[in-house]
Structure 1
Amino acid sequence: MSAPDSRPLVPDWLAVPDDANALAPLVWPASAARDAEGELRIAGVAVSALREQFGTPLYVLDEQAVRARAREVREAFESAAARHGAAARVYYAGKAFLSTEVVRWVSAEGLAVDVATGGELTIALAAGADPGRLGLHGNNKSVAELEAAVAHGVGSVVIDSPIELERLAVVAERRGVVQRVLVRVNSGVHAETHDFLATAHEDQKFGFPLADAPAVVARIRELPSLEFIGLHCHIGSQIFGTAGFAESAARVVDVHAQLREGGEVPVLNLGGGFGIAYTSVDDPTPIGELATGIVDAVARECEVRGIPVPNLAFEPGRTIVGRAGITLYEVGTVKPVPVTDDLTRVYVSVDGGMSDNARPALYGAQYSARLASRTSDAEAALVRVVGRHCESGDIVVDAEYLPGDVTPGDLLAVPATGAYCFSLSNNYNAVPRPPVVAVADGRARVIVRGETIDDLLARDAGIPTPNEDTV
Structure 2
Amino acid sequence: MRAHEAGALHGDIGSRGPAWLRPPADVNALVPQLWPGNTARGADGALTVAGLDVRDIAAEFGTPLYVLDEDDLRARCRAFRDAFSADDVYYAGKAFLCRAVVRMIAEEGLFLDVCSGGELAVALAAGMPPERIGFHGNNKSVAELSRALEAGVGRIIVDSFTELDRLTALARERGVRPGVLIRVTVGVEAHTHEFIATAHEDQKFGFSLAGGSALAAALRVLDEGVLELRGLHSHIGSQIFDTSGFEVSARRVLTLQAQIRDARGVQLPELDLGGGFGIAYTSQDDPAVPQDLADRLRKIVEFECAAERLAVPRLSVEPGRAIVGPAVFTLYEVGTVKDVDGIRTYVSVDGGMSDNIRTALYDASYSATLASRASAAGPLLARVVGKHCESGDIVVKDEFLPADVQPGDLVAVPGTGAYCRSMASNYNHVPRPGVVAVRNGRARLIVRPETEEDLLALDVG
Shorter-chain TM range is: over 0.9
1:15–1:273 CA distance, 2 compared to 1 (3 A): farther
CA distance in 1, matches of 2:339, 2:389: 19
User: Is 1:322 aligned to 2:329, yes or no?
Assistant: no
Pairing partner for 1:32 from 24, 39, 45: 39
Q: Which amino acid aligns with 1:305?
A: E
CA distance in 1, matches of 2:84, 2:190: 20
Once the two structures are superposed, what CA deviation does each residue of 1:351-385 show, in whole Å capped at 9, x if it has no partner? Answer: 00000001001101100000000011111011000
Instruction: Please state whether the residue corresponding to 1:129 is helix, strand or coil.
Output: coil
Is this contact kept in 2: 1:229–1:264, CA < 8 A? no
Once the two structures are superposed, what CA deviation does each residue of 1:412-442 show, in whole Å capped at 9, x if it has no partner? Answer: 0000001110000000000001110000000
RMSD value, Cα: 1.9
By how many angstroms is 1:28 displaced? 0.5
Q: Which amino acid aligns with 2:111?
A: A
CA distance in 2, matches of 1:60, 1:258: 48
Is this contact kept in 2: 1:150–1:179, CA < 8 A? yes
Q: Which amino acid aligns with 1:44?
A: G
Instruction: Please state whether the residue corresponding to 1:49 is helix, strand or coil.
Output: helix
By how many angstroms is 1:25 displaced? 1.9
1:199–1:328 CA distance, 2 compared to 1 (3 A): closer
Correspondences of 1:6-17 after superposition (within 5 Å): 7-9=12-14, 10=17, 15-17=22-24
User: Is 1:284 aligned to 2:287, yes or no?
Assistant: yes
Once the two structures are superposed, what CA deviation does each residue of 1:121-162 show, in whole Å capped at 9, x if it has no partner? Answer: 000001100100100000000000000000000000010000
User: Is 1:311 aligned to 2:288, yes or no?
Assistant: no
Is this contact kept in 2: 1:67–1:106, CA < 8 A? yes
Bigger mean CA deviation after superposition, 403-412 or 251-260? 251-260
Instruction: Please state whether the residue corresponding to 1:282 is helix, strand or coil.
Output: coil
CA distance in 2, matches of 1:309, 1:72: 23
CA distance in 1, matches of 2:305, 2:356: 42
Per the alignment, residue 369 of structure 2 pairs with: 370
TM-score by length of 2: 0.93
Per the alignment, residue 120 of structure 1 pairs with: 119
By how many angstroms is 1:193 displaced? 5.2
By how many angstroms is 1:282 displaced? 1.2
By how many angstroms is 1:93 displaced? 0.1
CA distance in 1, matches of 2:230, 2:453: 48
By how many angstroms is 1:224 displaced? 3.2
By how many angstroms is 1:14 displaced? 5.1
Per the alignment, residue 466 of structure 1 pairs with: none
CA distance in 1, matches of 2:72, 2:296: 24
Per the alignment, residue 233 of structure 2 pairs with: 232
- Which residues of structure 2 form unaligned runs of 5+? 1-9
By how many angstroms is 1:16 displaced? 1.5
Q: Which amino acid aligns with 1:345?
A: R
Moved over 6 A (4+): none
CA distance in 2, matches of 1:93, 1:188: 22
TM-score by length of 1: 0.91
CA distance in 2, matches of 1:194, 1:302: 31
Q: Which amino acid aligns with 1:233?
A: S
Per the alignment, residue 82 of structure 1 pairs with: none
Per the alignment, residue 5 of structure 2 pairs with: none
Equivalent pairs, count: 444
Q: Which amino acid aligns with 2:92?
A: A
Identity of aligned residues (%): 59
User: Is 1:388 aligned to 2:422, yes or no?
Assistant: no
1:194–1:420 CA distance, 2 compared to 1 (3 A): closer
Once the two structures are superposed, what CA deviation does each residue of 1:363-414 show, in whole Å capped at 9, x if it has no partner? Answer: 0110000000001111101100000000000000000000000000000000
By how many angstroms is 1:241 displaced? 2.7
Q: Which amino acid aligns with 2:63?
A: T
Per the alignment, residue 7 of structure 2 pairs with: none
Is this contact kept in 2: 1:11–1:399, CA < 8 A? no
- Which residues of structure 1 form unaligned runs of 5+? 79-86, 463-471
By how many angstroms is 1:6 displaced? 6.6
Once the two structures are superposed, what CA deviation does each residue of 1:216-259 show, in whole Å capped at 9, x if it has no partner? Answer: 11111122321111100001110113111112111111111221
CA distance in 1, matches of 2:440, 2:221: 50
Per the alignment, residue 95 of structure 1 pairs with: 94
Q: Which amino acid aligns with 1:414?
A: V
CA distance in 1, matches of 2:199, 2:76: 35
Bigger mean CA deviation after superposition, 129-138 or 284-293? 284-293
By how many angstroms is 1:291 displaced? 1.3
Pairing partner for 2:75 from 65, 68, 78: 68
Per the alignment, residue 223 of structure 2 pairs with: 222
Correspondences of 1:14-413 after superposition (within 5 Å): 15-78=22-85, 87-192=86-191, 202-210=201-209, 211-261=212-262, 262=264, 263-338=266-341, 344-413=343-412
